[in-house]
Amino acid sequence: MELHNCPCSGKTLARFVQPAVMAVLAAEPIHGYLILRRLSGMRIFCGQRPDPTGVYRVLKAMEQEGLVRSTVEATDNRPAKRCFALTASGRKCLARWGGTLQDYEESISDLLTIITHARRTRRSVAKKPTRRTSECSRGTGCCGSASPK
């Protein structure tokens, strides 16, 4: 099984695009290109530039929800740039994300403890010599092969 693109690789954390964008905008209002650039520097994106279409879709949805506002800045001899800023509602939402992510962190820590324990238990079981009985209830050896007679 190829695990490179599996969710277990951690490269599909799409739910975290919104709080990541909001965290970037909390510092200052900036245009989309700089948002993408700053997001790509976050560990959550594994050094990859996030999908611009997806980020702009999130920005548009957040604007419709009143979490961000945008203005168009005209510049000489260049296309106009849309600048995004976090609203007061957006700051409240970001604060709530902080609490939610803290809860996730604690839950993930608990899960990691369970996974670590399970891996250690599995290794210790694998190292123990297995006892083979002469007959299983199904007439086969414990390893699934025919019972020795």
Over residues 86-96, mean pLDDT: 95
pLDDT tens digit string along 5-64?
555 555 556 678 999 999 999 999 999 999 999 999 998 887 778 889 999 999 999 999
pLDDT tens digit string along 1-18?
555 555 555 555 667 899
- Look at the pTM and tell me if it is higher than 0.95: no
Instruction: Give me the residue label for tokens 């006892």.
Output: 131
Q: Return the structure tokens found at 77.
A: 């001899």
The pLDDT, as a whole number, for residue 24 is: 96
- Give the domains, in start order, of the chain with CATH numbers: 8-102 (1.10.10.10)
Question: Residue 73: beta bridge partners?
Answer: 81
The pLDDT, as a whole number, for residue 49 is: 82
Which residues, including other chains, have CB under 8 Å from residue 19's CB and lie 6 or more apart?
94, 97, 101
Q: Is the pLDDT score of 94 beyond 50?
A: yes
pLDDT tens digit string along 104-144?
899 989 999 999 999 888 766 666 555 554 444 444 444 44
The pLDDT, as a whole number, for residue 135 is: 47
Distance (Å, whole) CA 68 – CA 82: 12
The pLDDT, as a whole number, for residue 50 is: 87
Distance (Å, whole) CA 28 – CA 142: 65
The pLDDT, as a whole number, for residue 134 is: 47
Distance (Å, whole) CA 29 – CA 68: 10
